[in-house]
Chains A and B, each alone.
Chain A
Amino acid sequence: MADKERDLDDRDLAALFDAAQTDDPVPSAALMARIAADALGAQAGRAVPPALPLRDPLWTRINRALGGWQALGTLTTATAVGVVIGISGAEDLAVYVPGVSVEAPLSLGAYDSLFDETLEPEG
């Protein structure tokens, strides 16, 4: 009974350490594949970006899908221009196409004159 209460000695602990070493985990094939993929990514100079978990905010995922803040800025600008054109009306655009009136029906003839001027040789 007294022996049961006695603390383990160094020899007992050595036996436990030996057993623990024998039971050490062996890396799984999946783990080694992940590590190999990381190595390839690092060598290519482009670390593989980790997939964003679903718990990330929706806005973060949308931003990433669209290509980041720069792409988002371009998209916003283009959208704003479209809205302005839509509100102000197509009449304002006529100033960019001389000779064409949005009030008259469109005819190919109006455009033909434009091309004639463009293609007319100089001199």
Chain B
Amino acid sequence: MPLAPLPEVDAGRNGHGVSMPFDTDAQVSDDALMVLFANGDGQAAEVLAWRHTPRVLALARRMLSDMAEAEDVAQEALMRLWKIAPDWRAGEAKVSTWLYRVTANLCTDRLRRRRTTDLDAVPEQMDDAPSAEVRLMTADRAAALQGALARLPERQRLAVSLRFLSDLPNPEVADIMGVSVDAVESLLARGKRALATALAGRRDELGL
């Protein structure tokens, strides 16, 4: 099944990276791409990588508050996808769900290691940096939310990130986290309440 070449795209929207190409192969399912990849099709890897790396990277950064670590996690998650491709069973799990689960586990491992290392090695929270006046309100809000997220207990942070930032339905969040939907709802309620309280004092600053 030949795949059309990926088109050239505009510069990254935030100016420090490349933007995701238009996914012209959206009609090709992830399962089909996994089979193609396992059979040696190099472009299948390219399409899979562009389709999934942004969401994996975003989740890792929300969990770790560190871009370099998030990139390492994203690379490792995709590496595991390449390795499992020959044994992938179509229809058993969605590639995206599988990748989110792997990413969450990799982040958990890193967070555990952080707790056993020198506190000096822990990256500073993103909202600790002073906001320059020229920064857009959107960036301020994103940074404030990231800072508050980083202070949530790990399970609440993961549930909130998957549900409200990755826009996944509760059952899929439950599947990724390996818990019941009721447990996810509880984590979400506590997480939102903690965020609302933590950011209440910054209402004016954030234009809310």
Footprint of B on A, CB under 8 Å? 3-10, 12-13, 15-17, 19-29, 31-32, 34-36, 38-40, 42-43, 47
Contacts and interface: CB of A to CB of B under 8 A. Distances in A.
B28 interface: no
A15 B145 CA distance: 10
Contacts of A12: 196, 199, 203, 208
B43 to A, nearest CB: 10
Interface of B: 12-14, 16-20, 37, 40, 42, 45-46, 49-50, 53-54, 57-58, 61-62, 67, 70-71, 74-75, 78-79, 82-83, 85, 137-139, 141-146, 164-165, 192-193, 195-197, 199-201, 203-204, 206, 208
Nearest to B54: A27
B169 to A, nearest CB: 15
Contacts of B201: 4-5
Given A22-B138, A25-B61, A36-B49, A17 B18 contact: no
B203 A26 contact: no
B66 to A, nearest CB: 11
Contacts of A47: 79, 83
Contacts, number: 139
Pairs of residues from A and B, 3 with the lowest C-beta to C-beta distance, nearest first: A23-B142, A19-B141, A39-B45
A19 B143 CA distance: 9
Contacts of A17: 145, 164-165
B79 A42 contact: yes
B141 A8 contact: no
Contacts of A31: 53, 57, 71, 74-75
B18 A27 contact: yes
B166 to A, nearest CB: 9
Contacts of A42: 79, 82-83, 85
A40 B42 contact: yes
26 contacts: A4-B201, A4-B203, A6-B200, A7-B193, A7-B197, A7-B200, A8-B195, A8-B199, A12-B196, A15-B141, A17-B164, A23-B138, A24-B58, A25-B14, A25-B67, A27-B53, A27-B57, A28-B16, A31-B74, A31-B75, A34-B75, A39-B42, A40-B42, A42-B85, A43-B37, A43-B82
A39 B200 contact: no
A39 B145 contact: no
B132 to A, nearest CB: 15
